[in-house]
Structure 1
């Protein structure tokens, strides 16, 4: 278990440094204390599941990105939405697919926030974005 903690801590530290981010910045972005980030990176402890999700989102990675390959290979990630995703992708242009991929990979927290908006809020946001795009 200690080896797993150290591996995960090292991966988090590598991702954080690749973004030029300090432990203080990562703590703020993930709503976690700097000391917790440091102890996770040193492999002294795991964060809570919520903490680890928040840290990964702040680093723009997934939990799978910090797991050792032998651990993540054994996970059977359900592929229940493959048909639905294929149908959606078939309807999109290649440019729209690239935009979608970027949103899913880099902006998952934004997508989750947008999904929480009620229909009226979504309409207002859409109108606002259209006015920006059209310089109204």
Structure 2
């Protein structure tokens, strides 16, 4: 587990330095303390899922970008093993830009999807209609 923390911390630090921002700036932009950012970058601690999403959004990356490839390969295989046919059918009907939006939603807004899933059927229908109304051209 310590190796994973160090790996993620190093990746966060590398992406931050690429953007030429300080850990203080990253903390402010992600609504996280500089102490938390430093702890993550040193590999001393994990952040909550929500904090990691915020940090990744500020850095312009996804959670996949900070995870070791052996973990992301396993995640991809597990997902495809369970739902490969269904996912492939859905993806085959989508335009490339819609696939990017879906990927972004899945990787960066999982908390929204979880909350959406907890809504009543009526609330889901209302929200879905609202989203369609503002996104239809």
Please tell me the TM-score bracket, short chain as reference.
Answer: 0.5 to 0.7
48 and 87 in structure 1: CA distance in 2 versus 1, 3 angstrom threshold: same
Unaligned 5+ segments in structure 2 are 113-126
104 and 59 in structure 1: CA distance in 2 versus 1, 3 angstrom threshold: farther
* Residue 33 (structure 2) pairs with residue 27 (structure 1): no
Q: How does 1:86-97 map to 2 (within 5 A)?
A: 86-89=92-95, 97=96
Q: TM-score, normalised by structure 1?
A: 0.64
CA distances 1:20-58 after superposition (whole Å, capped 9, x unpaired): 222122112211111100110010100011111111121
Q: How does 1:23-102 map to 2 (within 5 A)?
A: 23-75=23-75, 76-78=78-80, 79=84, 80-89=86-95, 97=96, 100=97
CA RMSD in angstroms, aligned pairs only: 3.5
* Residue 12 (structure 2) pairs with residue 12 (structure 1): yes
Deviation at 1:88, TM superposition (A): 2.4
Measured in 2, the distance between the counterparts of 1:66 and 1:57 equals 12
Measured in 2, the distance between the counterparts of 1:27 and 1:12 equals 12
Which structure carries more helix by proportion? 2
> Aligned residues, how many?
113
